[in-house]
């Protein structure tokens, strides 16, 4: 079963949706295959992944003691 190969433009166009796992299995697989043989797109995907990891890390911040205390009292 052969599907036509994706162009780099098509991959870049859908890269975020790919990284967000929002595409159907077939498209997900097609892009995956492209990234295995195209170094340019692979670098770009790695870049976006890494950036995203760093953004995700901003979602964890040391909670103040006052808040921890409030929560402990609440769930006693």
Partner 1 sequence: MTPVESKQPGQASAANESQRVFREHVELLMDRLYGTALRLTRNPDEAEDVVGEAVASAWQRLDQLNDLSHLDGWLFRILHNTFISLRRRRYCREDKEVSFDQEMEDDDTRFSLFEHLHQPFLLWVGRPEKEFINRLLEADLRKAVDHLPDPFRIVVVMVEIQGYTYEEVAAILDLPLGTVRSRLNRARSLLQKSLWQQGRDAGLIGTNTGFRVGDRR
Residues contributing to the site for partner 1 (CB under 8 A) = 16, 20-22, 40, 43-44, 46-48, 50-52, 54-64, 66-68, 70-71, 74-76
Q: Which is nearer to partner 1, 36 or 49 (CB)?
A: 49
Other C-beta atoms closer than 10 Å to the C-beta of 18 total: 21
Q: What's the min distance (Å) between Cβ of 41 and partner 1? A: 10
**CA–CA separation, 49 and 31 (whole Å):** 15
Q: Which is nearer to partner 1, 4 or 76 (CB)?
A: 76
- Residues numbered 33 to 62 that lie near Zn ion (CB under 5 A) are 38, 41
**68 burial type by CB count under 10 A (0-12 exposed, 13-18 middle, 19+ buried):** exposed
Grouping H, G, I as helix, E, B as strand and the rest as coil, residue 34 is helix
Interacting residues toward Zn ion by CB under 5 A:
8, 38, 41
């Amino acid at each position: 079963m052969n599907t036509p190969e994706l162009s780099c433009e098509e991959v870049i166009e859908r890269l975020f949706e790919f990284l967000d796992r929002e595409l159907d299995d077939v498209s997900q697989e097609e892009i995956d295959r492209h990234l295995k043989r195209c170094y340019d797109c692979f670098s770009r995907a790695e870049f976006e992944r890494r950036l995203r990891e760093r953004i995700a890390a901003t979602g964890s911040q040391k909670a103040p003691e006052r808040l921890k205390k409030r929560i402990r009292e609440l769930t006693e």
